[in-house]
Chain A
Amino acid sequence: MSLVEVKGVSKRFGGLTAVSGVDLAVNAGEIHCLIGPNGAGKSTLFKLIVGLYPPTEGSILFGTVDITAERPYARVQRGMSIKMQAPSVFKELPVRQNIQTALQERLSGSERIAEEDRLLTLLNLAADSDKLAGVLSHGQQQWLEIGMALALKPQLLLLDEPTAGMSPEETFRTGELIRSFNAEGMTVLVVEHDMAFVRQVAQRVTVLHLGRIFARGTLDSILQDEKVAEIYLGKTHAH
């Protein structure tokens, strides 16, 4: 059963078509990776799913509910959360308050503080919890934003390039973290360029190219697809 389903969705900006007739179903409980060269429309598709852009055509279902017309906050309340491509945190607020703002609707009192501490430790931010989020390194801000997305305990977690700017070790740790949350039942949709990371986490992979679905399947089946190698290695006809 699919948790989120994108049906025939297109998005045009003026004359530019960023996403064109995309159908994508993410099954409940899976880790699904979205890959594709720069400009393939991956981030746009994410923003369509989470409601930052209205689609030009098509519809988006969450479970069985049509959420195409819903505002982002309503979709988040239904159980999705996102870490965006560029780190997006509350820069002038302390790290702990960033997490607290994400947690406070779900937990309160000592429970909330315990969960804050648990997340901060998990994200290696415990020592920096009183610093302003804006002074953290790029990588740490990524962690913090992942932490805020996780704090909502979403059914569907959308991660747009979660490991950009991270060392191989940190990337691996992020992968393990995602797998552990997935094991607890969280569905995850990830945009990622790092193939080692995709291999580590992905159960299914969809390739997006020029705003269209190009291929889908397991990572191995996709890597054996010559056409996929072509678009990545640039052998395809020029645009």
Chain B
Amino acid sequence: MFKLLEGPQTLGRGKMFWSCFLVVLAGALAYPLFADSYDVGNFAYFLIWIFMALGLCLMWGYGGMLSFGQTLFFGIAGYGYGVLAINMGGGSATIAALVLSVVLAMIAAGILGYFMIWGGINGIFFGIVTLSATLVLAFFLGQTAGPEWHIGPARLNGFNGMKGMDPLTVGDFYIEGSALYYVMVALIVIVYLALRMLVNSGIGNVIVATRENPQRAEMLGYDVRKYQLLTFVIGSGLAGLSGALYTSWGQFITPSSIGLPAAAMPIVWVAFSGRSDLTATLVGSFLLLFGFQTITVYSQQAALVLMGALLLATVMLAPQGFVLGIGKLAADWWQGRRRRGDVVADAGRLQPEES
């Protein structure tokens, strides 16, 4: 089963790659020992968004479905967590609220995905239907300022957003600060490795085959619609995970996390990073979030202008993504150096299936 961690669908294999992976992981685990708690909290904040980036990478890069609806499911699960945590009364119930809110986002994705995929919507229409749904949710939540908009004791509060829910809690222990950071790191490692295994599995073969040529995939006996729906539900569910974690992190959520320009952000991260590879998306999204946050301190508009410029520059100069392009160059350089040194050892790499 762990054989699936490597395969034709993911870049990065062999001892060198996994050594780097472990070094980065060790660095991430050691980080709170050196940094102050404010920085650790900030770091955890960047990590929140990685899930929705990885989800979009799966749908768009692997499945060929460009969803503009990541913040839709982010919002459903984010508000869902708030409503559930407030209604179920905090404490360990917040863990259940997290799980249920992600499930809620996946159910919503299942319904929307069913109508779009069974209706044969693809390409650019997939993008604009998901974006329309996203914007409608944002407009709707913006209209809920009045006291009549509440679910149990949870007030939706219009543009000001929902607040007052507990953060993730186990017993009496609030998962905040370093603890939250470690939870995030663990979740990212699990999600990243699980997605690698998924895309290199038989299901992953069908997902990429459907992206390449849906008719041929169907002619191999696969009901491609089911695979597309599965991809959409997983990818959107990851956006939901980001949303629920976000609400738990800051104990609030507002409609501006859903509408424009928030909806464009996952697209920028994944396009800039390189949608066709999970590792490139992971690394690139983190870099962009870090850069974005640094500039936002001075001017949020300037940071957003930069994101727009990056998106434009990516499609004009490097449609496959900048991080992926640089990563491939580095890998080629490394391979070239190694090949000169040791030709025989490299031959095994050409047939990953037989290892």
- Physical contact A–B (CB less than 8 Å): yes
Complex Cα gap A76–B221 (Å): 5
Complex Cα gap A93–B219 (Å): 17
User: Which 7 A-B residue pairings sit nearest by Cβ, starting from the closest?
Assistant: A76-B221, A90-B212, A104-B202, A101-B205, A88-B216, A73-B223, A77-B221
Interface residue count on the B side (C-beta < 8 Å): 22
B8 within 8 A of A: yes
Against A, the Cβ 8 Å flags (1 = close, 0 = not) of B213-236 are 101111111111000000000000
Residue from A90, A96, A100, A113 in contact with B216 in the complex, judged by beta carbons closer than 8 Å = A90
Counting chain A residues whose Cβ lies within 8 A of the other chain, the interface size class is: 20 to 34
A105 within 8 A of B: yes
A sample of 16 cross-chain residue pairs with beta-carbon separation below 8 angstroms, ordered by A number, consists of A52-B215, A74-B223, A76-B220, A81-B219, A88-B213, A89-B216, A90-B212, A93-B209, A96-B353, A104-B202, A104-B205, A105-B220, A105-B221, A113-B354, A148-B216, A152-B221
Contact status B221-A100, CB under 8 Å: no
Chain B neighbourhood of A52, CB < 8 A: 215
Contact status B219-A101, CB under 8 Å: no
Contact status B206-A101, CB under 8 Å: yes
Chain B neighbourhood of A93, CB < 8 A: 8, 208-209, 212
Against A, the Cβ 8 Å flags (1 = close, 0 = not) of B191-217 are 000000000001001101100110111
Contact status B218-A72, CB under 8 Å: yes
Against B, the Cβ 8 Å flags (1 = close, 0 = not) of A64-88 are 0000000111101100011010001
Give the shortest distance, in Å, between B178 (CB) and chain A (any CB): 43
Contact status B219-A82, CB under 8 Å: yes
Chain B neighbourhood of A88, CB < 8 A: 213, 215-216, 219
Contact status A148-B220, CB under 8 Å: yes
Contact status A91-B220, CB under 8 Å: no
A222 within 8 A of B: no
B301 within 8 A of A: no
Complex Cα gap A77–B353 (Å): 26
Complex Cα gap A224–B221 (Å): 41
Complex Cα gap A113–B351 (Å): 11
Contact status A92-B220, CB under 8 Å: no
Give the shortest distance, in Å, between B320 (CB) and chain A (any CB): 11
Contact status B351-A130, CB under 8 Å: yes
Chain A neighbourhood of B205, CB < 8 A: 97, 100-101, 104
A-B interface pairs (CB < 8 A), number? 70
Give the shortest distance, in Å, between B123 (CB) and chain A (any CB): 17
Residue from B208, B221, B222, B350 in contact with A90 in the complex, judged by beta carbons closer than 8 Å = B208
Chain B neighbourhood of A76, CB < 8 A: 218-221
Chain A neighbourhood of B220, CB < 8 A: 76, 81, 101-102, 105, 148, 152
Against A, the Cβ 8 Å flags (1 = close, 0 = not) of B295-307 are 0000000000000
Complex Cα gap A94–B217 (Å): 15
Q: Which residue of A lies closest to B220 (CB)?
A: A102
Residue from A50, A71, A74, A101 in contact with B217 in the complex, judged by beta carbons closer than 8 Å = A101
Chain B neighbourhood of A92, CB < 8 A: 208, 212
Chain B neighbourhood of A84, CB < 8 A: 219
Q: A130 and B350 in contact (CB under 8 A), knowing A73-B224, A105-B221, A152-B221?
A: yes
Complex Cα gap A84–B206 (Å): 19
Q: Which of A88, A101, A102, A105 has the most CB of B within 10 A?
A: A101
Complex Cα gap A72–B218 (Å): 7
Q: A101 and B223 in contact (CB under 8 A), knowing A76-B218, A88-B215, A96-B353?
A: no
Chain B neighbourhood of A91, CB < 8 A: 212-213
Chain B neighbourhood of A130, CB < 8 A: 350-351
Chain A neighbourhood of B212, CB < 8 A: 90-93
Q: Which of B208, B215, B221, B353 has the most CB of A within 10 A?
A: B221
Contact status B219-A71, CB under 8 Å: no
Complex Cα gap A74–B223 (Å): 8
Give the shortest distance, in Å, between A79 (CB) and chain B (any CB): 9
Complex Cα gap A155–B156 (Å): 60
Q: Which residue of B lies closest to A97 (CB)?
A: B8
Q: Which residue of B lies closest to A149 (CB)?
A: B219
Complex Cα gap A88–B209 (Å): 11
Give the shortest distance, in Å, between B114 (CB) and chain A (any CB): 16
Q: Which residue of B lies closest to A90 (CB)?
A: B212
Q: A50 and B219 in contact (CB under 8 A), knowing A104-B205, A130-B350?
A: yes
Against B, the Cβ 8 Å flags (1 = close, 0 = not) of A94-124 are 1011001110110000000100100000000
